A and B are shown apart, each in its own frame.
Chain A
Amino acid sequence: MNPTDITNPEYFHKVIDCQYACPAHTPVPEYIRLIAAGRYDDAYMINWESNVFPGVLGRTCDRPCEPACRRGRVDEEPVAICRLKRVAADNKGNVKARMPLPPVRKNGRKVCLIGGGPASLTVARDLAPLGYEIHLYDEWHKGGGMMRTQIPGFRLPESVLDEEVNYVLALGIHTHFNHYVSSLKEILEKDYDAVFIGTGAPKGRDLNLPGRKEAGDRVHIGVEFLANVAFGHKKTIGKRVIVLGGGNTAMDCCRTARRLGGQDVKVIVRSPFQDMKASPWEIEDAKAEGIPILNNMPPKEFVVEDGKLKGMIFSKVKAVYDEAGKRSLVPTGEPDEFIEADDVIIAVGQDNAFPWIERDLGIEFGKWDLPVINPISFQSTRPDVFFGGDAAFGPKNIITAVAHGHQAAISIHLYCSGQNVLDRPAPTVNLYQQKMGIHEWIYDSVVTEDDRYKVPHASLDVTLKDLRAEVELGFDRETAFREAQRCLNCDVQTVFTPDLCIECDACMDICPTSSITFTTNGDEDDLRSRLMAPANNRSQDLYVSRELPTSRVMVKDEDVCLHCGLCAERCPTSAWDMKKFLYSVTKTTKII
């Protein structure tokens, strides 16, 4: 193999599994260390710079970082990254003073944001400090978008959301709330320099089954149901409720139904449990509230008697996989099952919908009637119109919307300055020496063996009676410290300087996880088969040095390196060194 080019910022970035997996590339280990040090304000600001909604995301994020966490490959469970983020938000002091102020002198450019959700708010946060005059339109009376309408209060208190939305609006954003934009043409006729569309994927799918019409208003569409509850329009539900669907919306619907008076609430999915889209922790929380989940039961029809919904009939299937791994659901032959219900909530997915965008504005629409968007610049085929969040590429999650927002803000700024929107700024990277003395490092190099700590929950007696009583109570400071110490500090990189190596093998001998091997070079397949320990995780790179004097190369399998620094401690010549690699996605406005 050729020597690894560690001057390419993406090499060490990829070693930081959590940060690499995060759509916004938040520097996770950096803020976890700050939380351990009790520096909650600093930890919060690193998050705020990167993901704009630390308090919201610390409760609701889809956490792509956690399945990626290296700790999950050497220990049973990953670090509770998401809940540590919340600790920073819960314990911070006055961070407002650290946030930018809207400039007195504007730059003369006006940008319109349609939709008040995370994507639009991120664009606003990134552009306002540069002097852009930002106009934000939303159909509701407050900003936040789906964070407000779709996430129930028992998962996200309104005060947390209001606080973080207001940090952005305080940058001098001109808000046009209670204003549903029904025509993009009208907006474009105003004198905006650029328009950003972050209207989400607002249309919940319906199920066109027999009896659907007759069942009338006892059948609810999940996203609409949650919005109606959020705004206090819907306050009660029948005692027996069926929720159809296996995603996170279904989990929120069933738990909400429990709090509106539903006593016998069931989630019914058409496919096997393992194919459910909901996050495992959301499923766990629903089950903890006494909500059974029945699987392999596709709905067949609504049963309505005398104009009143009685329940639903389900057929029974099993999943069969063909050679290509493609799934089909085949009937088991068992008789259909009737399940009683007073209300049914359909949460089987949502779609983008742009009935308000005229098709003669120069915005090309492609497959599934979705706008054609450049995945790097988020620019549509009309140069002054940009998309982001769920509106761009379909329903994902908040953190993805934020990541889109950052990139769209860069594009809008480039576009408004007359530059090529595809000239993307390079990331900011820094390598910091970590050595302080013999056996002393700036970071806590010792790997703790603690198991993942559980976030305490409020008692069901309280939470099931109050729609707005938060279920998760968050870590206290002491537990947060212990959980933070579980972080392996993957951003503290093992950096190898071949010129200094005397090939004493000390690093290879000490490495707890046998990650380092000195051997003759070969191609990747060959090398992977000859290392001190099996290197079967191909998603993780091999770090290969140039040839050393004994004609061998140093090969390090990044897969399960504990970043404990023992290789560097046992190295007599400092050929190995531990250096903190801070990688930051460049934004239009520098915050920290």
Chain B
Amino acid sequence: MSYVKSRFRHPEQKKNAVGFVKSDYEGALSTLCAGCGHDSISAAIVQACYELSIEPHRVAKLSGIGCSSKTPTYFLGNSHGFNSVHGRMPSITTGANLANRDLIYIGVSGDGDTASIGLGQFCHVMRRNLNMTYIVMNNGCYGLTKGQDSATADYGSVNKAGSENPFPAIDLAELAITLGATFVARSFSGDKTQLIPLLKAALSHRGFAFLDVISPCVTFNNNKGSTKSYDYVRQHIEATSALDFVPEAEEITVEYEEGSSTTVELHDGSLLALRKLSPGWDPTDRNAAMNQMDKAKREGKILTGLLYAETSSRDLHDVLATVDQPLNSLTQEKLCPGSAALEGINSSFR
């Protein structure tokens, strides 16, 4: 038995702006099934963080339970990590974010972890607009327990055992827009040219960024009749737009035809340049986004790309008016100013 990834890398690996090579963003060797879409998403996260020149120690990756929730081990091996309880990743992230607002939070979850056991937590973290990137690796089945239909399995989708799903699916992207998520996108693990810019935009967005990534389960849900197989997704995918992520300091070099393009400016000054593929669609218009998604669904298509973005929102820290400094860097004196200060506060209420 041998399953070891060599530490030899390409001798001409380039360093990014903060002096790291791409392999500095890798994690341990994946133990997921060969060909799992989740591994592709992990690779896309590695690529996005490398290209954004994020220092690994500035990232915290959190997850719940499931195949998807194992993946934080397989990327950003030099970052902070917390593998939490099933469906409880949003609470842990909320706590972490309140204690240290300076980190970049990546939450990784699956369709079971988010749409079933963790649905309540998912709703509330969006409602609060927590500053994080929430990635659902969505394969429409419970891969870790041998492929039962999950809550995101499409109505009529055939599982590996041959039975059709009799229940309608929860559309997580629709739910996210409804409940006030401020950045909502959908993508496909097999399309990195779309997924990487979306990840970079999500990581640069301030507020709650939600990415629903369809990620085929090669072992239990890649059969004929499944609506989450590589083949089916490739045949039914429709992108809202082709997109380019343009970092703050750079100019847009891609030229688009007049009227066919739009840009979304992100909090840090970077831009997401979009070449629209569906006419009449506006990523900043919530109703238009919902209509487009509904239309695609009726046509049996899977709409991907940036669906909705609201870039001037107030995140949880703004709403709670917390201090600018991370709580974990405040001194004892500041956090616990003493009985005299308490007396002062109490007397102010008298």
B8 to A512, Cβ gap below 8 A? yes
Expressed in whole angstroms, the Cα–Cα distance for A533 and B50 within the complex equals: 14
Q: Any chain B CB within 8 A of the CB of A462?
A: no
Residues 27-63 of B contacting A (Cβ, < 8 Å): 29-30, 33-37, 39-40, 42-43
B2 to A509, Cβ gap below 8 A? no
Expressed in whole angstroms, the Cα–Cα distance for A515 and B13 within the complex equals: 12
B10 to A570, Cβ gap below 8 A? no
Q: Any chain A CB within 8 A of the CB of B286?
A: no
Cβ of B234: which chain A residues have Cβ within 8 Å of it? 503, 549-550
Q: Any chain B CB within 8 A of the CB of A440?
A: yes
Q: Which of A48-56, A155-163, A365-373, A559-567 contacts B (4 or more CB under 8 A)?
A: A559-567
Expressed in whole angstroms, the Cα–Cα distance for A359 and B13 within the complex equals: 61
Q: Any chain A CB within 8 A of the CB of B334?
A: no
A533 to B39, Cβ gap below 8 A? no
Interface size on A, residues (CB 8 A): 37
Q: Any chain A CB within 8 A of the CB of B7?
A: yes
Q: Any chain B CB within 8 A of the CB of A536?
A: yes
Q: Any chain A CB within 8 A of the CB of B183?
A: no
Expressed in whole angstroms, the Cα–Cα distance for A75 and B8 within the complex equals: 8
Expressed in whole angstroms, the Cα–Cα distance for A536 and B10 within the complex equals: 11
Q: A505-B43, A509-B39 are in contact. Are A572 and B34 (CB under 8 A)?
A: yes
A-B CB proximity, top 6 nearest:
A572-B35, A509-B43, A447-B6, A533-B10, A439-B3, A504-B35
**For residue B13, which residue of chain A has the nearest CB?**
A533
Cβ of A508: which chain B residues have Cβ within 8 Å of it? 43
B230 to A505, Cβ gap below 8 A? no
Complex partner residue of B40 from A445, A509, A534, CB under 8 angstroms: A509
Cβ of A566: which chain B residues have Cβ within 8 Å of it? 5
Residues 494-518 of A contacting B (Cβ, < 8 Å): 502-506, 508-510, 512-515
Residues 433-491 of A contacting B (Cβ, < 8 Å): 439-441, 444-447, 449
Cβ of A445: which chain B residues have Cβ within 8 Å of it? 2
**A131: min CB distance to chain B, Å:** 48
Return 8 A-B CB contacts under 8 Å, by A number.
A73-B11, A449-B6, A502-B218, A504-B218, A512-B6, A514-B22, A534-B14, A569-B3
Expressed in whole angstroms, the Cα–Cα distance for A505 and B44 within the complex equals: 11
Residues 50-106 of A contacting B (Cβ, < 8 Å): 73-75
B35 to A571, Cβ gap below 8 A? yes
**B214: min CB distance to chain A, Å:** 12
Interface string of B231-260 (1 = CB under 8 A from A): 100100000000000000000000000000
Interface size on B, residues (CB 8 A): 35
Expressed in whole angstroms, the Cα–Cα distance for A449 and B8 within the complex equals: 8
Chain A interface (Cβ < 8 Å from any Cβ of B): 73-75, 439-441, 444-447, 449, 502-506, 508-510, 512-515, 533-534, 536, 549-550, 560, 562, 564, 566, 569-573
How many A-B contacts if CB must be within 8 Å? 102
**B259: min CB distance to chain A, Å:** 27
Complex partner residue of B2 from A440, A449, A505, A512, CB under 8 angstroms: A440
Q: Any chain A CB within 8 A of the CB of B161?
A: no
Cβ of B13: which chain A residues have Cβ within 8 Å of it? 514, 533
**For residue A533, which residue of chain B has the nearest CB?**
B10
Expressed in whole angstroms, the Cα–Cα distance for A504 and B39 within the complex equals: 9
**For residue A519, which residue of chain B has the nearest CB?**
B193
Cβ of A569: which chain B residues have Cβ within 8 Å of it? 3, 34
Cβ of B5: which chain A residues have Cβ within 8 Å of it? 510, 512, 564, 566
Expressed in whole angstroms, the Cα–Cα distance for A300 and B40 within the complex equals: 69
Q: Any chain A CB within 8 A of the CB of B107?
A: no
Complex partner residue of A444 from B2, B3, B36, B39, CB under 8 angstroms: B2
- Chain B CB count within 10 A is highest, among A75, A444, A512, A536, for A512
Expressed in whole angstroms, the Cα–Cα distance for A225 and B10 within the complex equals: 48
Cβ of B42: which chain A residues have Cβ within 8 Å of it? 509
Expressed in whole angstroms, the Cα–Cα distance for A328 and B3 within the complex equals: 55
Cβ of A504: which chain B residues have Cβ within 8 Å of it? 35-37, 40, 189-190, 216, 218, 230
**For residue A534, which residue of chain B has the nearest CB?**
B12
Expressed in whole angstroms, the Cα–Cα distance for A508 and B40 within the complex equals: 9
B10 to A513, Cβ gap below 8 A? yes
Interface string of B122-154 (1 = CB under 8 A from A): 000000000000000000000000000000000
Interface string of B95-106 (1 = CB under 8 A from A): 000000000000
Complex partner residue of A441 from B2, B6, B30, B189, CB under 8 angstroms: B2
Expressed in whole angstroms, the Cα–Cα distance for A441 and B11 within the complex equals: 27
B40 to A570, Cβ gap below 8 A? no
